[in-house]
Chain A
């Protein structure tokens, strides 16, 4: 994106310089403003990146390396603490379970979102009557503000007056304390998150399916391939680039999911549905006496986790290209 922009500006500049050369001063003097011009074009994006990406990231790293109290946050002069905040977080008895919850939450969400999204994409790919309408309806969870869907889920799953328990009761199953028992709370937030993530997977995979040439299927049908074989031998391999980017985006998004968990359970009861994202928020903002240092440290750990996932993706990409 950047490189194409730069080449296009230089060609324009040469173009402009060539036109201006005959009547005007020697080319060397025209060159100068052209470099300024290039910087001028780069300036907006550079300023934007610096102000909204680089600086906040730098501040977050700095926050995590200093020992901030409310006093030093306001008055300045927080002492440099090295990796103390990271040590505090890693040695906290809550770290192990919270990391585990984050991994389960992310893993389970991705597996179900992706497989259900894929199944629905294949289903809608058959273009039956009303398929457009139905597909549009399935997109609704994606369009709803998270606060609305999360609140709705917490009403549905309410132990005493929730619709889910009422339905279970009608079939003769004892009510489940979805949000209030340590054994179920994580499952409940995962279910809600899967529901919210399906439309995204559906849309991306569906558009990926459009790119697979129909001739492939026709040829395989002539060769007598079963529909199962068609899926595993044609659809799945040809969809791989789309699948990997869908999973990567899903991973980055799911790692930092905060609103759903916070609204439904506040990470509770007693941390049984806490993820790294909710823990970071609780430390930084969920208490009257904020602990910015450890909160920022967890935030950075999350960024590192997403970065590692990104690197693995690039690795896979490259291997696919080599093949």
Chain B
């Protein structure tokens, strides 16, 4: 019996010890990473699709070896990464290198979580100015683009041929709507896009918004109303399906892949999937109202160096980033991601290697950063008002005019 009670007491001691160990483990893990000096450098990226043996990860490892350190890489889901990065900055355990979606850069910069090129001595002179814009605010640069993607119009050659439409004639909004009318008359569906009530919806609407000559600082201008009217009329006349209101870019692509649609607004990242379509496709730039390619928003990620307690780590981080963004590695990375490189010389190499990329290179050169024009952290508010207006008009709740007026009020008061 004494043995039993002793065993109980032992168990209790073990429980307490375990609790104490857990508690101390929790508290010590915090200062573990900020300690610095060690050989391991942390890299976070939004490419969870790449496994440990992928080219991307071996490139990271190779750059680490060149810089004399080991690289520990974690891939997160894009939307997850913003919150993770903010939390890590709050806890003081940010990664050494953070690769993140470009509009997030201004948010993280506002939070004081990123170093500027003045601190980390990164050379960004080779980068295309319209792409770099998304990472700049008040004259400071917070990161370097690793690759860019943007939007264009994919078309189904079979549907267009059957309807008697020559894609080369689609130069402006009038000719595009005329093409859609012909397609509808031939018994096929016109165009699909994504107008969902998230950032994706604004991203897809922006080429039309900017292509009308509108500015994000004035959401209710007559030009803006004309862009939203274009979309609303397409829905009313049956050129675009009602499901666009709830479409993500992926579901919109799935609609296009059925082969019923003549056009689809989608991005560079679908190129690999486009090869798997059961029909032949082509791409044209999104036309502006008055003709010529409309400025589409730039997508794609930035490589940034988050603030560390131990500023001595920046030197190695800078070497890692410089390695990731040198011309040859950019070409390799952007080919695997099916992105357009942020450097003009590399863009030309991509276009020669694959002529299909030519449209995309042109589109990227005409593209604009969403957070550019010194909007920075004002952009998220404006964008939320904008996608709400698009949804209100497309679902028939409000006229384009009313919807945009409400959006401008909402964006300017907050």
Contacts and interface: CB of A to CB of B under 8 A. Distances in A.
Contacts of B217: none
Contacts of B104: 288
B103 A288 contact: yes
A289 B377 contact: yes
Contacts of B242: 159-160, 177, 180-181
Interface string A20-56: 1000000000000100010011011001000000000
Contacts, number: 130
Contact of A44 (B19, B86, B110): B19
B110 A71 contact: yes
Contact of B255 (A19, A44, A161, A269): A161
Contacts of A308: none
A169 interface: no
B86 A182 contact: no
Contacts of A160: 241-243, 255
Given A47-B19, A266-B197, A288-B199, A70 B86 contact: yes
A269 B16 contact: no
B309 interface: no
Nearest to B20: A43
Given A70-B110, A266-B198, A269-B391, A154 B5 contact: no
A114 B112 CA distance: 51
Nearest to A175: B242
Contacts of A177: 242, 245, 395
B140 interface: no
A226 interface: no
B196 interface: yes
Contacts of A113: none
A180 B394 CA distance: 9
Contacts of B15: 40-41, 43-44
Interface residues of A, number: 42
B19 A268 contact: no
B305 interface: no
Nearest to B371: A288
B226 interface: no
B111 interface: yes
Interface in A248-301: 265-272, 285-290
Contacts of B107: 70, 288-289
A268 B90 contact: no
Given A269-B391, A288-B103, A159 B397 contact: no
Interface in A135-153: none
Interface in B270-324: none
Interface in A40-95: 40-41, 43-44, 47, 69-71, 73-75
B1 interface: yes
Nearest first, the 8 closest Cβ-Cβ pairs linking A and B are A268-B197, A16-B5, A180-B245, A289-B380, A70-B111, A40-B12, A269-B395, A159-B242
5 contacts: A20-B5, A158-B243, A160-B242, A182-B395, A288-B380
Given A12-B8, A40-B13, A266-B246, 15 more contacts: A16-B9, A40-B15, A43-B15, A71-B110, A73-B86, A154-B246, A179-B245, A266-B197, A267-B197, A268-B197, A270-B391, A271-B388, A288-B104, A288-B107, A289-B110
